[in-house]
């Protein structure tokens, strides 16, 4: 099978949840013999030669599209906002650029146009219609609801305004895109049920993939370690709000009982407010753009997800399950996860309960996650059944059924 992937951002390096989700799917497709062509958007710093080389290990044809930040491109985007939400308008290409892209995809001759994240949907739709190839969409969230929550969580006027533009036309655009897809896949059962209630019958479930980190139980403790670790995208409004809530409302309660508890806040592109609070809070360290998520999580005794709002599945929560460490999360942090998986988290939704759960692990030594080898194996088998490679096998069988003869 040949698939043209349209990813709303370049997925490698896989530094945050959305990229991790896309990157693992790319590797899983390639490992099963699928020939891939990929179209990625990027902005800011250009992808490195090393990153492109790593992508080429799994993708035969790579086409990069820069999201322009010039005055002319912004004027064009303003005009496009009358028809498209902001994140889609920034990914539009027209005229000769679009014609050239269509020619490249025609030369590749894909069986499926696979849209990974809805913001590249205008281009995916054009390719599908022009080439008469079925389009399949993988949703990362119920985007119009997610955008509303991010608008509510935004702090600065600039972020509020950007999130307002992101909401324009988004509900109509999203529903039309999923309706016009031969199949669409959702990141969680909760999101899928939402669309099914609106009579969209072409949906399927495609949970994120998990990759088990190579953790040696006999390896020495890392020289650098912390009592509490959070890792996430530190410029996403919901993560920012959750981290601020933890540092300003939860951590003081912890320090009242255990003053020298140490915290690591790690992640991608922290906003100034996060940098300021970490700098001014005793026993809190900030690690910007850590190279390895696995290495970062292994630095902590307790892992946390204090996120207060969002939708879909929180990739960071799935990632934390690999390490057999205690995890404290809000209910939002485990939303969208299968019920059987939620047993591996301590759930707390207010500052006092969240602080008490962490202290329970740190001070009394209570263990929630499973340490016995046999029980640990059972946990891995359960997680594998939900997030393992079999879900890609089922997806490829679905895709094969809609390939046109």
pLDDT tens, position by position, 255-289: 999 999 999 999 988 999 999 999 999 999 999 98
231/293 Cα distance (integer angstroms): 8
| Residue 159 confidence (pLDDT) | 83
Neighbours of 153 (CB within 10 A): 21
**What confidence category does residue 379 fall into, taking pLDDT thresholds of 50, 70 and 90?**
confident
341/143 Cα distance (integer angstroms): 24
Sign of CA dihedral 236, 237, 238, 242: positive
Tokens describing residue 148: 């509303």
Instruction: Please report, for the chain, the start and end positions of each structural domain, with discontinuous segments joined by +.
Output: 2-209+388-402, 226-386
Tokens describing residue 114: 């696979």
**What confidence category does residue 369 fall into, taking pLDDT thresholds of 50, 70 and 90?**
very low
Assess whether the region 2-209+388-402 and the region 226-386 belong to the same CATH fold. yes
Q: Are 275 and 299 in contact (CB under 8 A)?
A: no
Mean pLDDT is lowest, of 301-305, 315-319, 368-372, 382-386, for 368-372
CATH topology of domain 2-209+388-402: Rossmann fold (3.40.50)
Q: What percentage of the chain carries pLDDT values higher than 70?
A: 93
Tell me the pLDDT of the chain averaged across its residues.
90
43-50: which pairs have CB atoms within 8 A and are 24 or more residues apart?
43/67, 43/69, 47/10
pLDDT above 80: residue 190: yes
371's CB contacts (< 8 A; 6+ apart) are 324
46's CB contacts (< 8 A; 6+ apart) are 66
Query: What is the CATH architecture assignment of 226-386?
Result: 3-Layer(aba) Sandwich (3.40)
DSSP codes joined into one string, 162-231 = HHHHHHTTHHHHHHHHHHHSSEEEESSHHHHHHHHTTT--SEEE-PPP-------TTSPPPSS-EEEEEE
């Amino acid at each position: 099978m040949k698939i043209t992937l349209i990813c709303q951002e370049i997925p490698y390096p896989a530094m945050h949840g959305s990229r991790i989700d896309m990157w693992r799917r790319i590797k899983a497709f390639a490992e099963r013999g699928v020939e891939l062509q990929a179209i990625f958007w990027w902005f800011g710093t250009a992808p490195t030669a090393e990153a492109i080389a790593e992508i080429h290990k799994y993708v035969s044809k790579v086409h990069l599209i820069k999201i322009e930040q010039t005055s002319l491109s912004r004027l064009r985007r303003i005009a496009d906002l009358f028809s498209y939400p902001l994140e889609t308008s920034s990914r539009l290409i027209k005229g000769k650029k679009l014609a050239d892209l269509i020619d490249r995809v025609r030369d590749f001759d894909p069986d499926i146009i696979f849209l990974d994240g809805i913001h590249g949907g205008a281009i995916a739709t054009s390719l599908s219609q022009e080439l008469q190839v079925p389009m399949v969409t993988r949703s990362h969230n119920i985007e119009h609801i997610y955008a509303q929550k991010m608008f509510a969580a935004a702090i600065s006027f600039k972020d509020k305004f950007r999130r307002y533009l992101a909401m324009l036309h988004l509900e109509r655009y999203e529903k039309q895109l999923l309706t016009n897809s031969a199949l669409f896949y959702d990141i969680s059962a909760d999101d899928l049920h939402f669309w099914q209630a609106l009579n969209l019958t072409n949906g399927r479930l495609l949970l994120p993939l998990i990759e088990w980190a190579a953790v040696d139980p006999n390896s020495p403790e890392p020289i650098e370690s912390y009592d509490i670790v959070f890792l996430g995208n530190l410029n996403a409004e919901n993560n920012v709000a959750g981290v601020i809530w933890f540092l300003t409302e939860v951590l003081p309660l912890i320090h009242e009982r255990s003053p020298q508890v140490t915290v690591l806040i790690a992640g991608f592109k922290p906003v100034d407010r996060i940098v300021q609070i970490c700098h001014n809070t005793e026993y809190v360290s900030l690690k910007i753009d850590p190279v390895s998520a696995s290495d970062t999580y292994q630095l902590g005794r307790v892992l946390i997800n204090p996120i207060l709002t969002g939708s879909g599945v929180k990739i960071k929560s799935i990632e934390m399950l690999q390490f057999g460490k205690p995890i404290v999360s809000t209910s939002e942090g485990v939303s969208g996860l299968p019920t059987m998986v939620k047993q591996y988290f301590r759930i707390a939704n207010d500052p006092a309960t969240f602080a008490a759960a962490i202290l329970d692990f740190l001070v009394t030594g209570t263990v929630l996650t499973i340490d016995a080898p046999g029980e640990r194996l059972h946990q891995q088998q359960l997680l594998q059944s939900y997030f393992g490679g079999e879900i890609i096998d089922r997806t490829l069988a679905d895709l094969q059924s809609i390939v046109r003869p």
